[in-house]
Amino acid sequence: MAEDQALIHLDGLSKVFYTEEVETHALANINLSIRTGEFVSIAGPSGCGKTTLLSILGLLDSPSGGKYELDSTPVENLTASQRAKIRNQAIGFIFQAFNLIGDLTVYENVELPLTYRGMPGAERKERVQAALERVGMAHRMSHYPSQLSGGQQQRVAVARAIVGKPLILLADEPTGNLDSKNGGAVMGLLKELHDEGATICMVTHDPRYAHVADRAIHLFDGQIVSEDDARKAHELEEAGFDVH
């Protein structure tokens, strides 16, 4: 893929939830492209559609209308098994609640997505070791999640997300359950991964971390209301300019 080609392209995307009496428009006319190697943050108030959008990007949910292309492939007509295969091979997920499996060790948690691929044991071992070393958790590979701090659990979750060398990392409030010190450390790790070439799309409610991204997308009532160069805006704020 060419560097300037969109890895993710959304055209007129919408999502409507129906109940017996209510029709809720969670997303409306979303047009968005994310290029290979970009770090994009998605911000907005609670209930604005951030997590819904990330779920659609991660093929955990389907849009009600519009087009979504991932790596030039339209996803709306994919079967459930095809979507599952893409999630396993092309997308790395980092969740607010870590979502580690309690009765598996750190090593086994990180190894799991590779096991689903049917990857040979020797290659799995090499990949898991490298991923855990990358996040500074190789020394805890025999521990269980309950034996780790929140910050350590999120580092393991990052290792699990990157072990399969995905096209894109999707992070949903990755610092939401962490104190400021651990949150800053995890954001520092994401920035390092981005500097090494990772493509990241992150939902965050914390303005302290939005500037780490290249570009900030702001949602309100299911629509993109603004888009800016996050780092430049942060630099102007630091210099005392009002950018709002």
Report the pLDDT value the prediction gives residue 236, as an integer from 0 to 100: 42
Chunked in runs of 10, what are the mean pLDDT values of the chain (244 residues)?
73 93 92 96 91 95 95 91 94 95 97 94 96 96 97 97 95 93 93 94 86 91 87 48 41
The full set of domain ranges for the chain reads 38-60+80-238
pTM for the full predicted model: 0.88
The class level of CATH for 38-60+80-238 reads: alpha beta
Q: State the chain's mean pLDDT as an integer.
A: 90
Q: Tell me the pLDDT tens digit for each residue of 49-98.
A: 999 999 999 999 999 999 999 999 999 889 999 999 999 999 999 999 99
Report residue 157 as tokens.
């979750």
The set of residues, in sequence order, having a beta carbon less than 8 Å from that of 95 and lying 6+ positions away, is 157, 172, 173, 174
Q: Tell me the pLDDT tens digit for each residue of 185-197.
A: 999 999 999 999 9
